[in-house]
Amino acid sequence: MALKLYSIGASPPARAVIITAAAVGVELDVITVERDYLYTDEFLKLNPQHTVPVLIDEDKIICDSHVIVTYLIQKYAKDDLLYPSSLSKRIVVDQRLYYDASIMFPIVKKAYSGFRSKEFKEIPNELKIAAVEVYDIFEKYLTKTEWLAGDHITVADISSMVPKLYIIKESPPSRAVIITAAAIELQLDIVVVDGNYLRTDEFLKLNPQHTVPVLVDDDNIICDSHVIATYLIRKYAKNDLLYSSNLTKRSLVDQRLYYDASVMFPTTIRIGRGFHLKQFKKVPSELADNAIEIYGILETYLGKTEWLAGDHLTVADIFCYVTVKSLNVAVPYDLNKFVKLASWMDKLHQVSYVSVDEPYFKAFVDVFEAVLKS
């Protein structure tokens, strides 16, 4: 019988448990709950600390991901590789697990709850410094041994895995992926690079098309923002609202995503590149006409449904929002003509997780302003 695991969407400690269970071949029945449920009497009886993950294995109720993973390995694994029984090896793994529990995860939690509660819109310096220190410490551990706690993978490595996203700060497709990750409450290790780095051998091995964003998730290297976002939703989201699993509904979302990829974004990037390379300081009329046509087409879609691909927000809205917001910097839309578009943009702007875009959008505006001032 499957063991029961209580989880919240993309909670990093719950994900570490799911990976460990897969590693030891244990079937889990994952019960995804809402944050409010953690404060109900029912859940508080399981875990008075009101946190997930919680594992139920027959009569045992086990709280704290680090305790759960070591329990699963000791009870179900065929060997002790992931959590060695030799005392001298085990203390190294335990030290890394405590480092994750006491230093690394609290940074992620603080950053995440700050965004959620709107306490800040950009990661405070103090947290950035703490995160950089963690990376430095990892670098030191990993110069001594190939894996975090020795010469083979252990549960300490599993607890530290977060998908890595390479981006350029102002890049619209990178920003759309960042908003999507925020929407599904997924933590990403964001690596900001500059345009020159995209042509290095190191990066070309990841993406011969030399474009960002690129996602590295375990062994998967995924290129193209639309593919990355839909992959993240299918892998990590707790429901399929953003990207429906129903074929008919999904084909409509896909159509909007392809419209963004093939028409909206190329128009935006041609304008952006023209400014950046100082080919022009005023948008050429052909490109301005393209932008206005795009606004008109979106206005038509929004005349049919409240959101771009139906009656609720989907990943298509996120992508088209980011592109329109960027295009609007160069070719502002007429608020009296594109009434539905303006109110849809406004509605998206109010969605709490969309605010994660603010510092990145500011970087985009700064690039334009720097060129206009030059």
Ligand X SMILES: N[C@@H](CCC(=O)N[C@@H](CS)C(=O)NCC(=O)O)C(=O)O
Tokens of 305: 């449904």
d(CA 67, CA 9): 20
| Interface region with ligand X, contact rule CB under 6 A, candidates 80-88, 219-227, 232-240, 307-315 | 219-227
Residue in 164, 210, 238, 340 binding ligand X, rule: CB under 6 A: 210
Sites for ligand X among residues 102-161 (CB under 6 A): none
Tokens of 99: 């480092």
Q: What angle do the packed helices 315-330 and 247-259 form, to 10 degrees? A: 20
Tokens of 217: 């998730």
Amino acid in position 5: L
- For the bound state, the minimum distance from the C-beta of residue 228 to ligand X, rounded and expressed in Å, comes to 7
Q: Is 230 in the site for ligand X (CB under 6 A)?
A: no
Q: Is 51 in the site for ligand X (CB under 6 A)?
A: no
Q: Is 171 in the site for ligand X (CB under 6 A)?
A: yes
163 versus 173: smaller Cβ distance to ligand X: 173
- For the bound state, the minimum distance from the C-beta of residue 214 to ligand X, rounded and expressed in Å, comes to 8
Q: From the centroid of its chain, how far is CA 21?
A: 23
What residues contact 355, with CB distance under 8 A and at least 6 apart?
115, 118, 121
Q: Is 169 in the site for ligand X (CB under 6 A)?
A: no
Residue in 211, 244, 326, 355 binding ligand X, rule: CB under 6 A: 211
Q: Which residue from 22, 20, 326 is spatially nearest to 168, judged by alpha carbons?
A: 326
d(CA 54, CA 14): 8
Is residue 63 within 8 A of residue 51, CB to CB? The reply is yes
210 versus 249: smaller Cβ distance to ligand X: 210
Q: Is 291 in the site for ligand X (CB under 6 A)?
A: no
- For the bound state, the minimum distance from the C-beta of residue 209 to ligand X, rounded and expressed in Å, comes to 7
- For the bound state, the minimum distance from the C-beta of residue 236 to ligand X, rounded and expressed in Å, comes to 19
Residues within the interface to ligand X (CB under 6 A) = 168, 171-173, 198, 210-213, 224-226, 261, 269
